[in-house]
Amino acid sequence: MKPVNAYSLALVCGLVGMLFVAGCSRQGEQFDRTVDVSAMIQQLQSSDEQDRINACIALGSAGPHAAKAVPALAETLSDQSSLVKSLAAYALGQIGPQAASAIPQLKVLLGSGDPEATPSALNAIRLIDASALPDAYIPNVTTAPQ
């Protein structure tokens, strides 16, 4: 396993933080209807990490219009890249209630202990179906140490 340098970690944490904040407010949000969802689903299968990152971002920008990408995004939650997993969770959250079938995979990601992907998974579940959160309780995130 390669060591993570401080710059990369700061970049990933900053990006995940921005996506988390962006996902917290959806009022008046406009989604991009011009995204070629079928092409982005294909791009999620790329061996190039940057291609997968770009596909997740594009699908997130399409929001509910990318509903047919839910199965592919759910599969992407098991990607080797924490950033790709985080962005796939973000995209699922932007799709909203139509991504409910991905909640089991999001809960697996939530319990994975991946510090970069856990906040995105938590936010995605909240955006898809907030009533699913009690089962997704994470003691080390929601309670202070004793």
DSSP assignment letter at 28: T
- The pTM of this model reads 0.75
Instruction: Please give the CATH superfamily to which domain 30-142 belongs.
Output: Leucine-rich Repeat Variant (1.25.10.10)
- 110, 143 in Cβ contact below 8 A? no
What is Dmax (Cα atoms) for the chain? 50
For 18, residues 6+ apart whose C-beta sits below 8 A from its C-beta are: none
Q: What is the pLDDT of residues 82-111, one digit of tens each?
A: 999 999 999 999 999 999 999 999 999 988
User: What's the number of CA atoms in the CB half-sphere (13 Å) around residue 4?
Assistant: 12
Q: How far apart are CA 5 and CA 113, in angstroms?
A: 19
For the chain, the structural domain boundaries read: 30-142
